[in-house]
Amino acid sequence: MLTPVVVARKSLADYTHIVGRPLIEEIRELAEPLKGARIVHLNATSYGGGVAEILHTLIPLMQDVGLDCEWHVIYGQEEFFQATKVMHNALQGNPQAVSDEQWAVWHQYNEMNARELSRGWDCCVVHDPQPAAIATLEPGKARAWVWRCHIDVSSPNPATMQRLLPYIEPYPASLFHVRDYVPDGLDGGVHIVPPAIDPLASKNMALSRDDAEHICDQIGIDVRRPLLCQVSRFDPWKDPQGVIDAYRIVKERRPEVQLALVGSMASDDPEGWEFYDATVAHAEGDPDIHILNNFNNVGAVEVNAFQSLSDVVIQKSTREGFGLTVSEALWKGRPFVGGAVGGIPLQIQNGKSGFLVSSIEECAARSLEILEDADLGTSLGRYGKQFVRENFLMPRYLRDYLKIFTEVL
């Protein structure tokens, strides 16, 4: 019932010209003694969302450097995913705690999956809380266990976190994006490892200006006029309505400005659709606001085109797990304005690669500043791209994992 995921083949060598030879050599040296190590990653889904996106690059690269690495998706039915959705929201701070019944469902599915997991793994990397109990339930199935937390647990619902912690503590290594996210009471084995983007993925590959313009033009953007853009799911924490308000302030001074809100929708998220509809309503039919999602034929290349052409990329989040869309935008050399929350300040050095803001007015003022000073935009973008090259590309992330495998094995 654990479903193995088939991944593409990728070659670390293809990244040499992007990240430089020293990092590639460091990775090969770290990988040498790990050759043939049997690694399995467990998570809840093979597509949709950032975790799956990362694993679709990370796992092929682990295979390429010689690990015997697999990715299995755990089994769950609706009741399980409903329980883990409540858990996810509670861990991100929602006041509604996980109920006893939901804990029981979570535990029961973890038991099923733990039982199903085959034996003989050198290391099992468990992603996020959905399958977190497996290490406790079947510790003998892997020599070492790693828990990777992808969410913002800096101010969790205390009852939910207290009840989850006993399942996390047994892991010899746990990974968090940011120091602030480490739960109180979790000592030992904690690693701070930010995630990374894949510069070769269709979402981030070098797209010619011509192609990017054609794609945006077809969607209705006037490519000769300035464009603000936010790429994010439609949820209140990403504050797309605040972005619209900021755009309106900018538009008073620069009436030619356009805004694109580009996001993917989950298939089974009625709240997401409600918020999407509310965002569309908030735009009040303004023809210069373009709200797009994966049901408008918008995929990775279209997102790439929007980010590549934007004069300012915005991520006005009020809460943010890590916010890899920031690195995506910086990698395209675009100036950035974003909320000073979650992993965003790790990616943006205020004033150097973009601006951190905490209000609609500030967001508008910084966007205007960039629109009115082309040199500022260029220098922010250039600095940001270099910063991402050094810190937030997939080979660095692979190296960090290899170091941890070296430690725990």
Where on the chain is the footprint of a second copy (CB under 8 A)?
A: 4, 6-9, 47-48, 53, 200-203, 205, 211, 214-215, 217-222, 264-267, 273, 285, 287, 293-303
The answer to whether 246 and 360 have CB atoms below 8 angstroms apart is yes
Spatial distance between the Cα atoms of 390 and 385, rounded to a whole number of angstroms:
9
The least distance separating a second copy from the CB of residue 294, rounded to whole angstroms, comes to 4
Measured from the CB atom, the residue of 5 and 365 that comes closer to a second copy is 5
323 backbone dihedrals φ, ψ, rounded to 5°: 90, 55
Measured from the CB atom, the residue of 70 and 400 that comes closer to a second copy is 70
67 backbone dihedrals φ, ψ, rounded to 5°: -75, 150
The least distance separating a second copy from the CB of residue 35, rounded to whole angstroms, comes to 22
Measured from the CB atom, the residue of 97 and 244 that comes closer to a second copy is 244
What are the Cα distances from residue 320, in Å, to 38, 126, 160?
Answer: 33, 21, 20
The answer to whether 363 and 335 have CB atoms below 8 angstroms apart is no
Measured from the CB atom, the residue of 78 and 187 that comes closer to a second copy is 78
The least distance separating a second copy from the CB of residue 301, rounded to whole angstroms, comes to 4
Spatial distance between the Cα atoms of 121 and 39, rounded to a whole number of angstroms:
6
Write the DSSP symbol of residue 312: E
Distance in Å from the first CA to the final CA of the chain: 27
DSSP-derived 3-state class of residue 359: coil
Measured from the CB atom, the residue of 194 and 272 that comes closer to a second copy is 272
Dihedral (Cα; 62, 125, 102, 104), 10-degree rounding: 140
Residues 6+ apart with CB under 8 A from 199: 15, 18, 205, 331, 393, 394
The least distance separating a second copy from the CB of residue 221, rounded to whole angstroms, comes to 8
Question: Closest Cα to residue 322, out of 153, 197, 151?
Answer: 151
Spatial distance between the Cα atoms of 149 and 237, rounded to a whole number of angstroms:
19
Spatial distance between the Cα atoms of 36 and 68, rounded to a whole number of angstroms:
5
The least distance separating a second copy from the CB of residue 300, rounded to whole angstroms, comes to 4
The least distance separating a second copy from the CB of residue 293, rounded to whole angstroms, comes to 8
Measured from the CB atom, the residue of 53 and 245 that comes closer to a second copy is 53
The least distance separating a second copy from the CB of residue 136, rounded to whole angstroms, comes to 29
Which amino acid would we find at residue 110?
A: N
The least distance separating a second copy from the CB of residue 56, rounded to whole angstroms, comes to 9
Measured from the CB atom, the residue of 180 and 211 that comes closer to a second copy is 211
Measured from the CB atom, the residue of 205 and 374 that comes closer to a second copy is 205
